[in-house]
A = this chain, B = another copy of it.
């Protein structure tokens, strides 16, 4: 960050709001911290109602609205929906409820990242709710009709990630359960359409023998966020160091164990949030 900052640039040092159904969105926070180290972040994880992936569309929209309202109350300048499930069904309702709050979702970011590769044969994996919503396929086909897209729900990946079983024989058995056919006939791109899935990135790369380009929606989200904030004049002063405040709707006893899979160190600020 040695470039000179013109005197007339106005910075916006308010935090960026990020929410997810639980702790999966912390992979987005980690990617955001790397891409935008000067931004403050308010993270909300709805751990009292996690997961969203097996809930109805009505419930997901209601939960997302409560999540966004909580972050709006914290004075965030923009909203990043890090939850694939919420991102697949709640972006339009959220923009209706909070017209003043610029928002982006992890799915839109993943779609942009896939299109940038120029690849044509795409496999999207995600939770059952995300895949059933068909949001990735619809979004990709709306931009390019010629793409060959297949979407595969991998519901056991999330519990495996939360158990820390991200590699080894058992993880491979689960890859086989969902992806054996793709292993024999690999696509050009494998899009990890769930915030938990980056934890399998190394093992999946090995499973496919390095023959598939893996796109991680958390990383894609961080890249899109940079352009999103810049386009709206919402960037924080690059001279400052960003910090993260973590809010969770529930703090279970074994919570920290789960957190450590996602964060590299202890959180600096953590508070229980009440939404209901």
Q: CB within 8 A of A252: which of B54, B155, B158, B258?
A: B54
Residues of B within 8 A of A155 (CB): 159, 162-163
Q: Which residue of B lies closest to A155 (CB)?
A: B163
Kindly supply a per-residue 1/0 record for chain A positions 121-144, scoring 1 wherever the CB is within 8 Å of any chain B CB and 0 otherwise: 000000011001000000000000
In the assembled complex, A160 has its CB within 8 A of some CB on chain B: yes
Q: Do A254 and B169 have beta carbons less than 8 Å apart?
A: no
**How far in angstroms is the closest Cβ of chain B from A61?**
12
Q: Which residue of B lies closest to A275 (CB)?
A: B276
In the assembled complex, A34 has its CB within 8 A of some CB on chain B: no
In the assembled complex, A195 has its CB within 8 A of some CB on chain B: no
Residues of B within 8 A of A59 (CB): 48, 250, 252
What separation, in Å, do the CA atoms of A45 and B119 have in the docked complex? 45
Kindly supply a per-residue 1/0 record for chain A positions 236-276, scoring 1 wherever the CB is within 8 Å of any chain B CB and 0 otherwise: 00000000000000111110001000000000000000001
In the assembled complex, A95 has its CB within 8 A of some CB on chain B: no
Q: Do B56 and A50 have beta carbons less than 8 Å apart?
A: no
Contact residues, A152-184 vs B (CB, 8 A): 155-156, 158-160, 162-163, 165, 169-170, 173-174, 177
Known A251-B56, A254-B128, A276-B276; judge A163-B169 contact (CB<8 A): no
Q: Which residue of B lies closest to A153 (CB)?
A: B254
11 pairs, A vs B, C-beta closer than 8 Å: A47-B54, A47-B55, A48-B49, A50-B54, A55-B250, A56-B252, A132-B254, A155-B159, A156-B156, A156-B165, A158-B159
Residues of B within 8 A of A253 (CB): 56-57, 132
**How far in angstroms is the closest Cβ of chain B from A50?**
7
What separation, in Å, do the CA atoms of A102 and B17 have in the docked complex? 46
What separation, in Å, do the CA atoms of A258 and B128 have in the docked complex? 12
Q: CB within 8 A of A173: which of B48, B159, B169?
A: B169
Residues of B within 8 A of A174 (CB): 170
Residues of B within 8 A of A173 (CB): 169-170, 173
Q: Do A252 and B48 have beta carbons less than 8 Å apart?
A: no
Residues of B within 8 A of A50 (CB): 54
Q: Which residue of B lies closest to A133 (CB)?
A: B253
Counting chain B CB atoms within 10 Å of each CB, which of A132, A165, A250 scores highest?
A250
Residues of B within 8 A of A49 (CB): 48-49
Residues of B within 8 A of A56 (CB): 250-253
What separation, in Å, do the CA atoms of A251 and B169 have in the docked complex? 35
What separation, in Å, do the CA atoms of A160 and B159 have in the docked complex? 9
What separation, in Å, do the CA atoms of A159 and B169 have in the docked complex? 18
Residues of B within 8 A of A254 (CB): 54, 128, 132
Residues of B within 8 A of A159 (CB): 155-156, 158-159
